Amino acid sequence: MASQASFKRKHKTLNIEDKLQILEKLKKGESGAALAREFGVGKSTITDIKSKQDAILKYASQQDSNEGPKNRKRLKLANNMALEAALYLWFTQRRSLGEPISGPLLCEKALDFNKQLNGSPDFNASSGWLAKFKQ
């Protein structure tokens, strides 16, 4: 049996929802060490989350979808926020009219908006980009 000092944790990356739960529990007075054990991370990870509290809360409040914080692990925003905002607005307007929207149509519209907004000439509405936009 290995001693506690030689025990190595497996690397674990927490999603935004977990980080929000940790911040809530810290606010209620739970200790960082107890939270580290509960979430299977190091105490320094809890300290990092606490020090980045403002950025985490700001990021979570900017996310429209409830699904976003559950799956996201990083606080990274889109490269072209104006394009994504315009495309999302177009998408919600079309969906409210009952129009079906396919992935290829979203990609085509993203390319149109990119051109209209003088976006990057290197922008490619790839399947990877589409998957991230859907999240």
CA 61 – CA 44 distance, rounded (Å): 25
pTM over 0.85: no
**Average pLDDT of the chain?**
79
14 in the same domain as 33: yes
**Tell me, what's the pLDDT at 52?**
86
CATH number for the domain harbouring residue 40: 1.10.10.10
CA 110 – CA 123 distance, rounded (Å): 9
What is the pLDDT averaged over residues 35-50? 88
Biggest CA-to-CA distance, the chain: 64
pLDDT digits (tens, 9 = 90+) for 111-129: 888 888 887 788 888 888 7
- Indicate the angle between helix axes 32-39 and 43-51, nearest 10 degrees: 110
**Tell me, what's the pLDDT at 65?**
54
Tell whether the model's pLDDT for residue 109 goes beyond 80: yes
- How many domains are there within the chain? 2
